[in-house]
């Protein structure tokens, strides 16, 4: 589904694509009485989160990278619903709406100022031309990958901890694919930032000469959403997660499926695994895509195995 950037921000952040998740949450009383269906939902959600993240690794369209990250985050919401924690799914849905709207609207400002160019391969060196938009995309990307104390961190890490705390095959399956998706998310988020803003420019001279930051009426909503991407998760976390929260009873969840207490007391190493995967993804992106090593990704894509891998994921 393609549309103008403000429309993309609306449908990917708050409406339409998250309608299925909201329907599962609303029908939780039905799902809780169908154990096999819950297993199917969790497996499909985990596979979606990883597959969409892997496809996003080698997309070259600025908006398409952000769109596939939406598919990946929807997978997180679906599989945690399949693991019977509907309030956490809703929490991630709300957090995701903030930073995904920020990413799409910031991308729209860049596309608008660059004469409607969306190809990441024809960008680069835009950091000094789009100072506000670049900072907002960086904030949104950091929130998306689950950087500690930003909005995405509280819900995303809670989802993975709950998956591990299930201590069964389906929980471990979701945890493994969720951590793998976190690695991919970190890679393509920083790849987007490096290709668009840090690397030497590949843009046409005609575009660069006329490139400009968006006017204030376009930038002002970004500042509001950027503030939300930093503080919203921190301010609302006690309403949904943690012992003593309003949703601690997790309405409609059968007692046997409730493991929020178990996830609170996991070993510190297990809690830090998603963050370690995120750091690895960012580091790999830095060494493959960054301007100091710009040839490495190109050389990999020219090799036979690398070309097959690139085409397989790029063509979905």
Task: Give the global pTM.
Answer: 0.92
Whole-number Cα distances in Å, 244 to 87, 250, 251, 279: 14, 11, 14, 31
Q: Residue 241: which of 99, 97, 89 has the closest Cα? A: 89
> Which tens digits make up the pLDDT trace of 169-182?
999 999 999 999 99
The per-residue pLDDT for range 7-29, each reduced to its tens digit, is 888 888 888 888 999 999 999 88
**Alpha carbon distance 104, 183 (integer Å):** 21
- The pLDDT assigned to 250 comes to 58
CB 97 within 8 A of CB 73: no
Q: For the residues 176-192, what does the mean pLDDT come to?
A: 95
> How many DSSP H helices and E strands does the chain contain?
15, 0
d(C-alpha 86, C-alpha 250), whole Å: 7
Burial class (CB in 10 A: 0-12, 13-18, 19+), 28: buried
Residues 6+ apart with CB under 8 A from 193: 134, 137, 138, 141
Q: Average pLDDT of 280-286?
A: 92
Contact 160, 171 (CB under 8 A): no
Give the pLDDT of residue 296: 65
Domain range annotation of the chain: 5-314
């Amino acid at each position: 589904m393609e549309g103008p950037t403000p429309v993309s921000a609306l449908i990917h952040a708050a409406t339409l694509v998250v309608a299925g998740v909201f329907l599962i949450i609303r029908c939780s009383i039905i799902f809780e009485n169908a154990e096999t269906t819950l297993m199917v939902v969790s497996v499909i959600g985990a596979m979606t989160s990883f597959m969409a993240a892997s496809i996003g690794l080698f997309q070259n369209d600025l908006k398409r990278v952000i769109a596939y990250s939406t598919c990946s985050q929807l997978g997180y919401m679906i599989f945690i619903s399949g693991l019977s924690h509907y309030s956490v799914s809703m929490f991630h849905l709300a957090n995701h709406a903030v930073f995904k709207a920020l990413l799409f609207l910031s991308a729209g400002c860049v596309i608008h100022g660059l004469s409607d160019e969306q190809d990441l391969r024809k960008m680069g060196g835009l950091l000094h031309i789009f100072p506000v938009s670049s900072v907002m995309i960086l904030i949104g990307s950091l929130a998306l990958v689950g950087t500690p104390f930003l909005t995405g961190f509280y819900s995303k890490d809670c989802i993975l901890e709950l998956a591990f705390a299930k201590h069964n095959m389906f929980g471990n399956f979701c945890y493994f694919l969720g951590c793998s998706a976190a690695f991919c998310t970190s890679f393509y988020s920083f790849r987007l930032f490096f290709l668009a803003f840090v690397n030497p420019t590949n843009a046409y001279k005609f575009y660069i000469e006329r490139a400009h930051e968006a006017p204030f009426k376009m930038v002002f909503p970004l500042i509001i959403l950027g503030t939300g991407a930093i503080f919203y998760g921190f301010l609302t976390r006690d309403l949904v997660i943690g012992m003593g929260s309003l949703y601690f009873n997790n309405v409609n969840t059968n007692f046997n499926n409730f493991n929020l207490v178990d996830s609170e007391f996991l070993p510190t190493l297990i809690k830090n695994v998603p963050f370690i995967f995120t750091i690895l993804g960012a580091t790999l992106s830095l060494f493959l895509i960054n301007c100091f090593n710009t040839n490495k990704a190109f050389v990999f894509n020219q090799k036979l195995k690398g070309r097959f891998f690139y085409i397989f994921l790029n063509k979905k």
